[in-house]
Amino acid sequence: MKQGKLTAVVAVRKGSQRIKNKNIRKFGGSSLLERKLDLLNKVTSIDEIIVNSDCDKMLTIGEKYGCLTYKREDYYASSEVNNSDFHGHIAEVTDADFIFLAPTCSPFISIETHENAIAEFLFRDYDSLTSVDIIKNHLWMDNKPLNYNLHDVPNSQDLPDVNRLNYGISIITKKSMLENRSLIGNNPGFYTLEGFEAVDVDTPLDFFIAEQIYKKHFKK
């Protein structure tokens, strides 16, 4: 079993591109950010939670939930920074042995699933563990099929499993995150999410669908 400090980083910014104020917009009686922080506080395997943001309001919410905060520099909160530079920066400024990047846009991942994913990362020989969902679709790229023979088209259920990275859970050693500037290490593991847990809120339509899921299946 790996030994060391596991820190959850909730990286949010005020300049959400597709959904205005996505992280603090009303959702399920609170917001996506508050829902995530409330859940992470109940995951016993997490040693520390940091809200990393350029938004003072979001940092204040983090403090309200007992989290540490890091005021992100403007460049690393802008659309100019690419994922590699952003992930490298997160690794540089986070005091941890293992970094768990916990996005607010995956609102339905349970406490149990978080605990199970962390345990799999700690007990297996992975340097990273990333959540995926399985795609069973006929896929095309560059005007040709990617995962089947055009002249012998299988039923969709018979297609090979294709793992789509959804990043609802991303755990990686700080060492590998610094070296690779990525959430994927040199010896990665993958953790399959199914059903509502694989929901990723990225567009206004996603947000609307997530609201309906919450009202029907999670509202008390």
- In this prediction, residue 135 carries a pLDDT of 93
**Is position 20 within any domain?**
yes
Q: How many residues does the chain have?
A: 220
What digits encode the pLDDT tens for the residues 2-27? 999 999 999 999 978 889 999 999 99
pLDDT at 206 over 90: yes
What digits encode the pLDDT tens for the residues 40-70? 999 999 999 999 999 999 999 999 999 999 9
What digits encode the pLDDT tens for the residues 186-195? 999 999 999 9
Residue 201 sits in a domain of what CATH number? Answer: 3.90.550.10
In our burial notation (b when 16+ CB lie closer than 10 A, e otherwise), range 21-48 reads ebbbeebbeebbbbbbbebbeebebbee
What digits encode the pLDDT tens for the residues 124-138? 999 999 999 999 999
**Is position 1 within any domain?**
no
Please report the sign of the dihedral spanned by the C-alpha atoms of residue 212, residue 214, residue 215, residue 217. positive
Residue 70: both structure tokens together: 């890091």
Residue 118: both structure tokens together: 């962390």
**Is position 59 within any domain?**
yes
- Average pLDDT of every residue of the chain: 96
The total number of structural domains in the chain stands at: 1
Spatial contact of 75 and 88, defined as CB atoms under 8 Å apart: no
- In this prediction, residue 83 carries a pLDDT of 96
- In this prediction, residue 16 carries a pLDDT of 81
* Residue among 58, 42, 50 at smallest CA distance from 9: 50
Spatial contact of 201 and 207, defined as CB atoms under 8 Å apart: yes
- Owning domain of residue 53: 6-218
Dump the DSSP string for 2-48: --S-EEEEEEE-S--SSSTTTTTSEETTEEHHHHHHHHHTT-TT--E
Predicted TM-score (pTM) of the model is 0.94
Rounded CA-CA distance 182/77 in Å is 17
**Is position 134 within any domain?**
yes
Looking at per-residue pLDDT, the higher value among 62 and 79 belongs to: 62
Spatial contact of 10 and 62, defined as CB atoms under 8 Å apart: yes
